[in-house]
Chain A
């Protein structure tokens, strides 16, 4: 955990911010297509596509596996109960798995 702008955020949220920066750079002023020669332009553009694809896959895997659950909980908690300290990440996951104990999810064949 570290503090950014007065609110506590996890390291991963900061990573998420960085990720946003790369994912959103298409519309940003430093357009990747504005290279000097056609070759560097092509290179930059393909590099841009590669980073976009990787960050997309990363986003998907993290969402699918549930890595982002805590960050979501914190955001939700802040919106619903501003000023109340949220659970720590450890306590949150503990509570979550204990709930899974009582409500098993079926898997098919």
Chain B
């Protein structure tokens, strides 16, 4: 049943349910001159941005063009491509009640305002990943990374997130593994679940490795991150016993305490007491493992929930600060568009050539398989209307991509010599400034002017700005950011922190504040990662005890203390062992483990896109199957090539097994006379065995999933008459909510209608839900139901 809202035919069509209540709007898109002018302007501006960064290049590229090009491209993609996919593949129907509306149990199924849900979804998908990958990929120059982040999200990442969200929404918010079992069969479903579990271990280990690298030998950092534990405990106790429910209030207090911990960290580090916080990488690893176990077995209200509040607060705050910094300072790019490492594959940060390794190093921000675990199972249970999926799924991913672009900008506005000195493993720099300068010279690469790269840094000495070069420059960087040394601080986080401090000190506080900004950046990255580690450990533990429950049913009982401790120990042991392997890796943990992380994440994306493709075919939309198939094929080609090279390449820097046999031969030849060197060589043999085996397992599992999926597609294609689907049956909606981030006038009018028709008795309920939304006439909450 439909009616027209106002009069003539330009007015949008209003969808109403059988009771006559509005449930949605079908918009008619008519091109008016102002609209055309707007999109032409956006197109021209975006084209100008791309021209400046990709074609003009030159010596002086301003980073503002990265912001312009990305925002314009995102706008186009959101307006045109995402809407195209919506129309062809999703066909949202606002007459249909979403699981949130149908089940609405006040717990996990909870219709949530689209703007709020956008925030929740974004906070759940974005963490340290989009901040780290682009920084590492900057070794190949800025252009490949920028293009992959922007076009990757448009064609692959956003598509995956949005379609997984939508299909899960149509299936009662079921998880990826459950959907795989329903659509592909038992074997496929089981493989998908094992894939998710194993990849989670890799992800947690690599993220924890980033934290260890950032905090090792840094008393200031260790002190301020350490403070987050008592702060979170205090917040937890406050919310449990003192003022329950005052979340914003205590988060503000926590935030202020956090800033105090960052400021105070300097004095603690400089005091005689500071040595306590001076931890070696191995000591820090043990601390993290013990912490991870504790956080997973302690009650959530005590540590996990309050830390999550702090993390959400910091996430939104930092991104706004960084964006403001880039727009105000508009730093110049110091990195060439494409470096020699893109083609010769000899990069010191990660080895291998641009294809395929750039595309697995930047996962989060362009295409991240792990998002599918949030987009299925969690977010779909909270969506009010089907038409909001584009905003939350695609829009949320565009936002993450934008974060990745900002991280890239921070990294490429640093001096290239400083960048490489920080990101080369200790095996190359010997951990000294002099060693680092020699290693940078030895790279044999050129800067934007075509000259050999030189380490240089501008600093203030006695109030005068001076530019230092060589080892002195690296010492100056370290003293400016308040660290003992920045050489071989691999993992991306420290580089991003120096880059951010380098930008932000121009806006807030000058050189004197640089060390504060550095530690602020380290703090939020560590906070994001620790939140992920806490939550990931817990999720993995539940997955494990659920599977163990098949043999020992008692494991399924969450209140069986011993069982939960045992499965937690297994989970923490698994990522802890991988972490220790990375931390002690003689060749540099990030260099060897990060590719495994990227491959794992992208293979998970392949699994998610495969499941989506099967669902599209089984829905009968064979004509449009290229929409998920294009990113799927690309992703499979990238990950399988990368895995192939990692397993079979005979270049020791790339192939795990080539490296292994090289070191084995050298040990056999008696090359290592000194005990430490021999132990290192044996560690290389051991680590490459583990890493190589993991690569094989991953790729075989995903290949098996692809085969079972191909079979499911074949079966569906052979019987085109019967379109089978595991979608939930239609149930009529009686809820109206706008679909756009900002409600349109027509949507506001309907909101007003809903608010007016809800009687006075119910309107109390709508007021009770915490104030009305700004700028709209509200009434979209409980009142209508």
Contact = CB atoms under 8 A, between A and B. Distances in A.
A20 B772 contact: yes
10 contacts: A52-B775, A64-B116, A64-B312, A65-B309, A72-B781, A76-B765, A89-B245, A94-B244, A105-B535, A109-B368
Nearest to B785: A79
Contacts of A109: 127-129, 203, 207, 363-364, 368, 370, 532, 601
Interface of B is mostly: helix
Which residue of B116, B304, B773 has the most chain A CB atoms within 10 A of its CB atom? B116
Nearest to B126: A108
Contact of B368 (A15, A68, A108): A108
Contact of B374 (A55, A104, A106): A106
Interface string A76-103: 1011000000000110111001011111
Contact of B768 (A24, A74, A101): A74
Given A107-B531, A108-B370, A109-B129, A93 B240 contact: yes
Interface in A23-82: 23-24, 52-53, 55-56, 58-76, 78-79
Contact of A56 (B248, B299, B305, B775): B775
B767 A106 contact: no
B92 to A, nearest CB: 24
A13 B769 CA distance: 8
B125 A71 contact: no
A89 B241 CA distance: 11
B641 to A, nearest CB: 22
Given A105-B535, A108-B127, A109-B207, A16 B106 contact: no
Contact of B119 (A19, A64, A75): A64
A100 B539 CA distance: 11
A89 to B, nearest CB: 5
Given A103-B108, A109-B601, A93 B244 contact: yes
Nearest to B110: A72
Contact of B773 (A7, A59, A75, A89): A59
Interface string B360-380: 000110001011011001100
Given A52-B774, A69-B245, A72-B782, A106 B535 contact: yes
B694 interface: no
Interface in B563-609: 601
B531 A64 contact: no
Contacts, number: 169
Nearest to B302: A97
A14 B684 CA distance: 65
B734 interface: no
A76 B106 contact: yes
Contacts of B313: 65
B158 to A, nearest CB: 15
A78 B767 CA distance: 13
Contact of A23 (B240, B245, B378, B772): B772
A101 B312 CA distance: 19
A103 B542 CA distance: 8
B770 A63 contact: yes
A106 B246 contact: no
Interface of A is mostly: helix
A23 B532 contact: no
B770 A99 contact: no
A89 B244 contact: yes
Contacts of B542: 104
B651 interface: no
Contacts of B129: 108-109
B740 to A, nearest CB: 16
Nearest to A59: B771
Interface of A: 7, 9, 12-13, 15-17, 19-20, 23-24, 52-53, 55-56, 58-76, 78-79, 89-90, 92-94, 97, 99-109
A99 to B, nearest CB: 6
A55 B371 CA distance: 32
Which residue of B370, B531, B772 has the most chain A CB atoms within 10 A of its CB atom? B772
Q: Which 8 residue pairs are nearest across A and B when measured between Cβ atoms?
A: A56-B774, A68-B770, A109-B129, A75-B765, A97-B301, A104-B538, A93-B244, A16-B771
B381 to A, nearest CB: 11
Nearest to A15: B771
Contacts of B373: 106, 108
Contacts of A61: 248
A48 to B, nearest CB: 12
Given A23-B771, A75-B782, A97-B240, 9 more contacts: A59-B773, A64-B116, A66-B247, A72-B106, A74-B768, A79-B765, A107-B308, A108-B532, A109-B129
Nearest to B245: A70
Nearest to B766: A75
B251 interface: yes
A108 B125 contact: yes
A104 B564 CA distance: 13
A95 to B, nearest CB: 10
Which residue of A58, A61, A97, A109 has the most chain B CB atoms within 10 A of its CB atom? A109
B764 A7 contact: yes
B364 A108 contact: yes
B305 A97 contact: yes
A79 B207 CA distance: 46
Contacts of A71: 768-770
A47 B785 CA distance: 36
B718 interface: no
Contacts of A56: 773-775
Given A65-B309, A109-B364, A60 B116 contact: yes
A100 B601 contact: no
A54 to B, nearest CB: 9
A100 B305 contact: yes
Given A55-B771, A103-B108, A109-B368, A63 B116 contact: yes
A12 B771 CA distance: 9
Contact of B535 (A53, A62, A66, A104): A104
B770 A67 contact: yes
A74 B766 CA distance: 11
Nearest to B400: A108
A17 B542 CA distance: 42
B558 A72 contact: no
Given A17-B767, A71-B770, A76-B106, A106 B119 contact: no
